[in-house]
Amino acid sequence: MAQKKKTGFKLLASPDDLSEIRKAVRKFRYAKMRKILAFAVLIILALCGTYLLMKNQVYGQARTASQYPGNISDTSGYAKFADGIVRYNRDGVAYLNRENEEQWIQPTQLQNPVIAVKDEAFAVADRGGNTILIFSEDGLTGEIETALPVERLTVSDRGIVSVILKSESTPAIMTYDAAGNLLVEQQITPGTTGYPAALEISDDGTLLAVSYLYTDSSGVKSRIIYYNFGETGQSKTDNVVLTAEYENTVMAELFFMGGGRSVAVGNDSFVIYRGTDIPEEETAVTIDQEIQSVFHSDQYIGFILLNENKSGYELRLYNRLGEQLISREIPANYRNAKIDGDEVIMYDGDNCCIVTVTGIMKYEGSLSIEVQEMFRAGGLNRYYVINVDELRVIYLTK
């Protein structure tokens, strides 16, 4: 008869005791995780606090972190584009990396080069001449020779270009694709429509806004017309989907923003339109000071205004809903101003002023070099500064 085999093991705890042990282990692990989480939160708060402190700090000096010399003409213009920099002058258009090294160059003969830039394409034209060049990050994509002199131009992310061609009797607005092929030709009758003073095309190239100026017995007037080149505009006469009239104002600036909005700026006001198919007027804002310059990003609209009741100038910032965010005095009327992320960067000669969108004057003073172009670099409080001799990376310090 077989005997039952003995295992040699004894049950050390009852099922109830095991349940208590498991509960104790879970409690210990939970307490440990709470301590780790609390410590991590403290670290994150400390880092965020340090970042915000440095971000909103007022700085008194700008020091050079690195320098990249280059063979640059003092007649060159510069523009930030994609991950690099565009340099353009009478002899050519070049694309530089952020160490001032040429990635490619396109020789040209332009007497008065002007540039229009979007995120994925840019165009360079000879103002008063007949040449337009269209580029992507990889180089030239299209070249256009116009019959009339170029007056103003705009470009979309897709490389679609619209341009005002100058003529005293019959100016024209032409729209070309990225390869330089003519898409739309619009003949203008100044006596009926007015003379085109400004234009801007949407990022996708389907909506074109044009500001026309005309006079009658009551004075100067502006007419804003939106043309839709998509399906909606095909059934409309001349692709016109909106016409708006404004009395006693010169609407000389047009631009598109994020959130499906576009803006027309007059000499004493601005109007925000909403819609990417058939725009509608959303907000009109009157400016109570003399406008010196206007600039924008996808999020913000900025103005440098002349203080009429006291000396100096005012920086005023609005969001794309037309709500005023900040108003503060600035020491000068800077010739160059831009919104880069959450900062307003203004410069003129070697003088620079940086103001955050919350109204903190982060820096005001000399950069010790004549600035041709300036924009933010990677890292905290670091900026690219281009002058006639080199590209510098500077950083702000106390």
Burial class (CB in 10 A: 0-12, 13-18, 19+), 71: exposed
Q: Could you read off the pLDDT of 40-95 as tens digits, one per residue? A: 776 776 555 555 555 567 898 999 999 998 766 667 899 999 999 999 999 999 99
Cα 239 to Cα 279: distance, rounded to the nearest angstrom: 13
Nearest to 201 by CA among 251, 146, 237, 158: 158
pLDDT bracket for residue 245 (50, 70, 90): very high
Cα dihedral: 278, 282, 283, 284 (round 10): 40
Nearest to 302 by CA among 261, 255, 244, 349: 255
Instruction: Tell me the range of 58-67, 163-172, 347-356, 383-392 where mean pLDDT is highest.
Output: 347-356
126 versus 60: the higher-pLDDT residue is: 126
Average pLDDT over residues 203-209: 96
pLDDT of residue 74: 64
Average pLDDT over residues 95-111: 94
9 has a pLDDT exceeding 50: no
Q: Out of 3.40.30.160, 2.40.30.10, 2.60.40.420, 2.130.10.10, which CATH number does the structure's domain 83-342 have? A: 2.130.10.10
Average pLDDT over residues 10-26: 65
Q: Could you read off the pLDDT of 280-308 as tens digits, one per residue? A: 999 999 999 999 999 999 999 999 999 88
pLDDT of residue 241: 97
pLDDT of residue 296: 97
Give me the residue label for tokens 């007022």.
58
55 versus 353: the higher-pLDDT residue is: 353
pLDDT bracket for residue 1 (50, 70, 90): very low
316 has a pLDDT exceeding 50: yes
Q: Answer whether 171's CB lies under 8 Å from 196's CB.
A: yes
pLDDT of residue 15: 59
2 has a pLDDT exceeding 70: no
pLDDT of residue 59: 93
252 has a pLDDT exceeding 60: yes
- What ranges do the domains of the chain cover? 83-342
- Provide the token pair at 82: 């994609």
Q: Could you read off the pLDDT of 152-195 as tens digits, one per residue? A: 999 999 999 999 999 878 899 999 999 999 999 988 888 888 99
- Sort strands 336-340 and 324-330 into parallel, antiparallel or unpaired: unpaired
End-to-end, the C-alpha distance of the chain in Å comes to 95
335 has a pLDDT exceeding 50: yes
pLDDT of residue 398: 84
pLDDT bracket for residue 346 (50, 70, 90): very high
The C-alpha R_g of the chain, in whole angstroms, comes to 29
Question: Mean pLDDT over all residues of the chain?
Answer: 89
pLDDT bracket for residue 13 (50, 70, 90): low
Q: Which of 2-11, 228-237, 289-298, 304-313 has the lowest mean pLDDT?
A: 2-11
